[in-house]
Amino acid sequence: MANKWFSAKEVAAHSSESDCWVIIHDKVYDVSSFVNDHPGGKKILLKAAGTDATKQFDAFHGPGVLEKYAHFCIGSVGEPPKEVAAPSATAAIDDDGRIFGDMIPFGDPSWYQDWDSPYYKDSHRRLRKATRHFVDTEIMPFVHEWDEAKQVPMFLFTKCAEMGILAAVAGTGKLPVEYFNVEDTLFFRGGANAIVPPEEFDAFHSFIVGDELARCGSGGVLWGICGGLGIGLPPIIKFGSDELRNRIVPDCLAGRKTICLAITEPSAGSDVANLTTVSNETSDGYIVNGEKKWITNGVFADYFTTAVRTGGEGMGGVSLMVIERSMPGVSTRQMKCSGVWSSGTAYINFEDVAVPRANIVGKENRGFKYIMHNFNHERMGIVTQATRLARVCLEESLKYGSKRKTFGTKLINHPVIRNKLAHMSRQIEATHAWMESVLYQTQTMPEDMQMLKLGGPIALLKAQSTQTLEYCAREACQIFGGLAYTRGGQGEKVERIYREVRAYAIPGGSEEIMLDLGMRQSIKVAQMFGAKL
Ligand code: HEM
C-alpha cells in the first residue's frame, strides 16, 4: 500500500470517469481503471468520485472487498504523522493475548474475549494469532474466487505446509515430526522459542488451527486443504508399513502430493461393512474393481486410501490399500454438489487396477478396524468446523445487523432480530463448551479408553454441532434477506454456509445414525461400568 498523503481538496480534483479517486476509511483509492468493471455499476461510483464515500461503501460491501482491492489504494488523507506511527490498535490490546479478534459478542470463543480458561496457554495464543493472520491474508480474500472456480489452487498446499498447517491437522493426536522438518515451518521452528515448541503440541493446538481456518466461511476451502489429508493420512501413519509411510507421508505433509480417503460407494454410505469394491489377489498384489462416490479431494488427489473387499462378506473382509492416480484403470470426475465446491468431490472408477502388495495398509482384512479408529477424529474435525461456521453466521449477522437499517433503526435494535441472535449464541456457546470438554479428554484419556468412552459423546456432539449450524445458517440468511440469496457480495459467507449445511450433517455419520449410535454406545459403556439399566 502506497505511503502518500493527500488533502481532501486534492482528492476532489479526481472526479471524472478517466480519473476517479474515492476516500474510504481515510484511505485514498484510485479506481479509474475499475469504473467500468465495478459490479455495483459505473454511475454510482462516479457519483462518489472525489469524495469521502466511506458511509456508502460500508453500506454496500463486506469488509473483505477493501483487502481484495488494496492495490487501488494510493495513500491516505491528511497530514503525515510527525513521529513514527504508533502500534496498531490490535497490537495494543493484544499484548497478553487475553483479548483477540473483533470483540463481537460470541463472534469468537470466550477465551478470545478476556475469559479465563484452563485449556489454553501462551503457545495456543501465539498459534491463534499466526493462523488468523494467514487466513486473513492468504485465504479469506480468495475464497469466493476459488469456490466459483470449483478448486483450490495447488500452491495453497505448499503454503499451508510452510506454515505447519498440514502437519497440525494430519490427525494422529500428536505432531508427526518423523515425517516433516519442523524448521521448514513457521509454527514449529525455533525450538523453545517456536510459536509452538513441537513437544508442547496438543489437541488444542490442532483444534485452534482447524477453528481459525474455518473462519474463512467455506467448507469447500476447508475440505480442500484438509478434508482428504485429515482422514486419508492417519491410517497410513498409524498402521502403514515403514516403507509405505516413508514413501507417502513426507510428500503429503510438504504439500507436494495430496491424499484422500475413499470409502463411500454409490450404495454403501454409513453402511461401511457392506461395501462392494472388490479385489482379486494376484502373485504380487491385487486387481481392484469398483466405484467410490462423494470422495472429498478425489478430483485431484494423488493417493486414495481405499476400502476394498479382499475377503468374505461383512466387516471382516475389508482391507485398506493405497491406490495411486497414476495406476492404469483409475478415473475420477467432479460431482455436482450443493456445496463444498472447491474441495473436489469426486466419483471414482477403479477398472482392473493393479495394486502392488506393498500398498496395503496394515494387515489384510483389518481395514474395518482402521476405519473405525479414524471416526472419532474425523467427527471432531467436523464438530470444530461446524461450530466455527455457525459462529461465522452469528458474527456476520451481528456485523451486518449493526449497519443495515430498517424502519429507521439498525437491525440489531429490532427485538425480533435480537431474539434470533440470542438463540444462535446460546447454541454455539453450549456446543463449544462441550467440544472443549471432549477435546480435553482426547489428550488425557488413554487411547483404548477413548475408543470406548468417547465414541458415544462424540457422535452426539456431531449431531449437536450440525443442528446448531443448520439453525444458525438459516437465521443468518433471514437476517441478511436477499443478500443471502445471491452468491458473492455481503451475504457471501452465509449464502455459501447455508448451501453447505448438508455437507456437515450427512457425511462422517448422518445425524440420524449419530443420535442413535451416541445413545446406544453410551448405554452400553455405562452398563460395562456398572450402571444398572
Ligand atoms: C474502492 C472502491 C470500491 C470497490 C473496490 C468496490 C467493489 C465492489 C465489489 C467487488 C462489489 C460486488 C459485491 C461485493 O463483493 O461486495 C461491489 C458492489 C457494489 N458497490 Fe462497490 N466498490 C467500490 C466503491 C463503491 C462506492 C463508493 C459505492 C457507492 C457510492 C459502491 C456501491 C456499490 C453497490 C451499490 C454495489 C452492489 C451491492 C449489491 O449487490 O448489493 N461501491 N463493489
Q: Which domain CATH number covers 519? A: 1.20.140.10
State whether 340 and 417 are in the same domain: no
Q: Count up the domains in the chain and report the number.
A: 4
ipTM score here? 0.95
Q: How confident is the model at residue 84 (pLDDT cuts 50, 70, 90)?
A: low
State whether 222 and 268 are in the same domain: no
**pLDDT tens digits, one per residue of 327-380:** 999 999 999 999 999 999 999 999 999 999 999 999 999 999 999 888 899 999
Question: Of the candidates 335, 367, 399, which is a domain's last residue?
Answer: 367
Q: Is residue 99 part of a domain?
A: no
Of 50-64, 191-205, 409-423, 457-471, the poorest mean pLDDT is in 50-64
Q: How many CB atoms lie within 10 A of CB 151?
A: 18
Q: Which residue has the cell 494510493?
A: 74
Q: Which of 232, 262, 241, 221 is nearest to 171 (CA)?
A: 232
> Residue 190 burial by CB count (10 A; 0-12/13-18/19+): exposed, middle or buried?
middle
For a mutational test of ligand 1's pocket, the pick from 61, 69, 490, i.e. the residue with the most ligand atoms closer than 8 A to its C-beta, is: 61
Q: 149: CA distance to ligand 1 center in Å?
A: 22
Tell me what pLDDT residue 85 has: 52
Ligand 1 atom 22, closest CA: 38
List of residues 6+ apart from 338 with CB closer than 8 A: 499, 500, 502, 503
Q: How many CA atoms lie within 13 A of 162 on its CB side?
A: 7
Q: Is residue 85 part of a domain?
A: no
Q: Is residue 37 part of a domain?
A: yes
**pLDDT tens digits, one per residue of 33-65:** 999 999 999 999 999 999 999 999 998 998 788
- pLDDT of residue 253 exceeding 80, the answer is yes
- pLDDT of residue 83 exceeding 70, the answer is no
Q: How many CB atoms lie within 10 A of CB 70?
A: 12
State whether 49 and 139 are in the same domain: no
Is residue 101 lining ligand 1, measured as CB closer than 6 Å? no
Residue 518 CA to its chain's centroid (Å): 25
Q: How confident is the model at residue 90 (pLDDT cuts 50, 70, 90)?
A: very low
User: Do 106 and 394 meet the contact criterion of CB atoms below 8 Å apart?
Assistant: yes
167-174 mean pLDDT:
86
Q: How many CB atoms lie within 10 A of CB 54?
A: 15
Tell me, what CATH number does 23's domain have?
3.10.120.10
Tell me what pLDDT residue 171 has: 76
Q: Which of 226, 175, 156 is nearest to 380 (CA)?
A: 226
**Alpha-carbon gap, residue 182 to 164, rounded angstroms:** 8
Q: 95: CA distance to ligand 1 center in Å?
A: 35
State whether 137 and 211 are in the same domain: yes
Instruction: Give the position, in ligand 1's atom list, of the atom nearest the Cα of 62.
Output: 16
Better pLDDT: 272 or 209: 209
Q: What is the mean pLDDT of the chain?
A: 94
Is residue 69 lining ligand 1, measured as CB closer than 6 Å? yes
**pLDDT tens digits, one per residue of 454-482:** 999 999 999 999 999 999 999 999 999 99
State whether 344 and 458 are in the same domain: no
State whether 521 and 405 are in the same domain: yes
Q: How confident is the model at residue 92 (pLDDT cuts 50, 70, 90)?
A: very low
State whether 224 and 291 are in the same domain: no
State whether 469 and 422 are in the same domain: yes
Q: Which helix (H) or strand (E) holds 122?
A: helix 122-134
For a mutational test of ligand 1's pocket, the pick from 11, 26, 38, i.e. the residue with the most ligand atoms closer than 8 A to its C-beta, is: 38
Is residue 56 lining ligand 1, measured as CB closer than 6 Å? yes
List of residues 6+ apart from 517 with CB closer than 8 A: 455, 456, 459, 509
188-194 mean pLDDT:
96
pTM over 0.95: no
DSSP track, 411-466: GGGSHHHHHHHHHHHHHHHHHHHHHHHHHHHHHHS-HHHHHHHTHHHHHHHHHHHH
Q: Domain range spanning residue 123?
A: 110-246
State whether 124 and 65 are in the same domain: no
Q: Is residue 162 part of a domain?
A: yes
User: Do 263 and 307 meet the contact criterion of CB atoms below 8 Å apart?
Assistant: yes
State whether 412 and 356 are in the same domain: no
Phi first, then psi: give them for residue 314, nearest 5 degrees: 80, -170
- CA distances (Å), 319 to each of 23, 68, 315, 369, in order? 62, 47, 9, 9
Question: Of the candidates 342, 367, 392, which is a domain's last residue?
Answer: 367
**Alpha-carbon gap, residue 319 to 317, rounded angstroms:** 7
For a mutational test of ligand 1's pocket, the pick from 24, 33, 65, 487, i.e. the residue with the most ligand atoms closer than 8 A to its C-beta, is: 65
269-274 mean pLDDT:
72
Q: Is residue 49 part of a domain?
A: yes
State whether 356 and 384 are in the same domain: no
Q: Is the dihedral of CA 272, 305, 184, 192 positive or negative?
A: positive
State whether 241 and 278 are in the same domain: no
Q: Is residue 97 part of a domain?
A: no
User: Do 328 and 287 meet the contact criterion of CB atoms below 8 Å apart?
Assistant: no
Tell me what pLDDT residue 398 has: 97
Residue 477 CA to its chain's centroid (Å): 20
